[in-house]
Every structure is written in C-alpha cells, then in structure tokens.
Amino acid sequence: AQTVTQSQPEMSVQEAETVTLSCTYDTSESDYYLFWYKQPPSRQMILVIRQEAYKQQNATENRFSVNFQKAAKSFSLKISDSQLGDAAMYFCAYRGGERGGGADGLTFGKGTHLIIQP
C-alpha cells in the first residue's frame, strides 16, 4: 500500500517570505499523480497544485510551485510571498494510476498546519 508522509506538523513563516512544506511518499508504481490541497478553517478542501509523475517539469501555479524528485519520492510545496490568506492545513495526496481514469481514491498525508505571522 502507498504511504504519504508529511514530517512537519506545523510551520510558521513571516508574511511575504517563502516557505517550503515537505512531503515524501512510498510506492512501487511508475504511473501516479500527486496533489497538494489546502484546507482553511472553513473546511473546504481546495486544490493548490498537481503533478503527473511522468512529467519531469515541476508544476507551478502563481506563487505556488513544487519540487518533484521522482527518484527520491519527494514532492515539496514552495509558497512564495506568503500571504495571510495562505494560513491553512496543507495536505499532500497521492493517487495511483492502476485503475486508470482517476477512479482511485487519494492517499493523504497527515497534514501541515501553516501559520502566517503578520
């Protein structure tokens, strides 16, 4: 079974600075997908960024980018120019490609609570 590990239960960063959240995973599959979700106090899970394992290029979405190291099974999230609205729980998630078509459930890490200091 796949496992996802987020080793930082809590991180704190000053507003406007850069922070990196770590995520490692364990899998024997070669085809899979990785996601970062954000969950603010409102509880709505919001997709931040996604990465296909077959793509070597790291995904970027505005201030959010990932460092995907397939051989090391590492998928960290970098948030640049942190804003107060970035404060939330961040979850790293893995989905295998075995079933195909996105029909597999996600395996989540335990989450990292990100605090933004004004």
**Binding of other proteins by 41 (CB under 8 A):** no
Cα 103 to the center of its chain, rounded Å: 20
| x-or-dash string of contact with other proteins, 57-96, rule CB under 8 A | ----------------------------------x-x-x-
User: Site for other proteins (CB under 8 A): which residue of 27, 50, 65, 70?
Assistant: 50
**Binding of other proteins by 97 (CB under 8 A):** yes
Instruction: List, in sequence order, every residue forming a beta bridge with 46; answer none if it has no partner.
Output: 38
Distance CA 95, CA 107 (A): 6
Token pair for residue 66?
A: 């990932």
Closest approach, Cβ 14 to other proteins, in A, equals 26
Closest approach, Cβ 65 to other proteins, in A, equals 17
Residue 85: strand, helix, or coil: helix
CB 68 within 8 A of CB 74: yes
Residue 82: strand, helix, or coil: coil
Kindly list the residues in this chain that would bind other proteins in the complex (CB under 8 A).
Answer: 1, 4, 6, 9, 33, 35, 37, 42-45, 47, 50, 52, 91, 93, 95, 97, 99-111
